[in-house]
Amino acid sequence: MADTTGKLYPVARAVLAPAFRFLWHVYREGLDNVPRGRAIIAPNHISVLDSFFVPLALERKVTYVGKAEYLDNWKTRYLLPAMGMIPIDRSGGESSKAALDAAAEVLQRDELFGIYPEGTRSRDGFLHKGHTGAARLAVRVNAPIVPVGIKGTVDVQPPDAKLPKPFMPVVIRFGEAIWPERYTQRVDDRLLYRQITDEVMYEIRRLSGQEYVDSYATKEAPAAAATTVIPVEEMPSGNGGRAVEGTALMRRSSAEVLRPTSIAEGD
């Protein structure tokens, strides 16, 4: 699966990068935080265009997972796989294992792999609770996770908007990598993946400036009365409750699919 994904990436990038630079003012921060070898790129997700802006902001190819339903839409059927998307069936079972194995294969080649920890787009503007797929993958192949904060793409193309708006600013912030080595003594701890995930979400919150809610993102925006907003200072940082230093501010999810079905989620 991974071997046939992104073969047209150089062509797609050569065509799309100049077009995106002309149509939108893209500001990139913290590119030096992306390691030279393998790494998991973990952004917030606020617009369908995130899957274009983040890869185009990076100097290296990034492969990522996306729902197989994107292949049903003529607008994304060819573009997203060309940009490096691995389509996954989110029904679970063997498809989940295949997605996990494909992601591990990408990282074992010392390449970049992207995954949205929220699993799906936020339709209410909040940053939602992260699934543990990225953490499980990081521990499995000893790859650092780079938290990414995206701002502006929701204004370019809000949820359910048919066309994007040109000439608007977009900011992509890459935070300091979170390395799994310090957790190697806890590989059998079922709460380990939740701790790493919460640390990643803390950093994404800091980079994106979003408010955090302790609930998973869904296709429909949750009712306001059912939403509990957690201030950033009360979020778990994954470091004994202390804030983690980083760069300065300016159906089933794909993230959930990337986990072994024999291990509990550990929420």
At 111-169, the pLDDT tens digits run 999 999 998 899 999 999 999 989 999 999 999 999 999 999 999 998 888 899 999 99
Q: What share of the chain in percent tops pLDDT 90?
A: 50
Q: Is 9 exposed, middle or buried (0-12, 13-18, 19+ CB in 10 A)?
A: middle
Per DSSP, the three-state class of 39 is strand
CA distance 66 to 228: 28
What pLDDT, on the 0 to 100 scale, is given for residue 169? 97
Q: Picking from 127-141, 177-191, 229-243, which range would have the lowest pLDDT averaged per residue?
A: 229-243
What pLDDT, on the 0 to 100 scale, is given for residue 65? 74
**Which tens digit of pLDDT belongs to each residue from 75-88?**
667 677 776 777 76
Q: Picking from 175-179, 219-223, 255-259, which range would have the lowest pLDDT averaged per residue?
A: 255-259
Residue 172 has pLDDT above 90, yes or no: yes
Q: Do 88 and 67 meet the contact criterion of CB atoms below 8 Å apart?
A: yes
> What is the distance between the terminal CA atoms of the chain, rounded to a whole angstrom?
30
* H and E: helices and strands count for the chain: 8, 10
Helix (H) or strand (E) holding 128: strand 127-128
When the pLDDT of each residue in the chain is averaged and rounded to a whole number, the result is: 79
Higher pLDDT, 189 or 245: 189
CA distance 128 to 122: 7
- Averaged over 191-217, what is the pLDDT? 95
- Averaged over 204-226, what is the pLDDT? 80
CATH 1.10.3470: does it fit domain 2-257?
no
What pLDDT, on the 0 to 100 scale, is given for residue 48? 87
CA distance 88 to 154: 24
**Which tens digit of pLDDT belongs to each residue from 221-232?**
554 434 445 544
Residue 214 has pLDDT above 90, yes or no: yes
Q: Picking from 4-8, 55-59, 234-238, which range would have the lowest pLDDT averaged per residue?
A: 234-238
CA distance 256 to 249: 28
Q: Is 254 exposed, middle or buried (0-12, 13-18, 19+ CB in 10 A)?
A: buried
- Averaged over 194-212, what is the pLDDT? 97
Task: Dump the DSSP string for 58-94.
Answer: SSS-EEEEEEGGGGGSTTTTTHHHHTTEEEE-TT-TH
Per DSSP, the three-state class of 151 is strand
Higher pLDDT, 64 or 50: 50
What pLDDT, on the 0 to 100 scale, is given for residue 70? 64
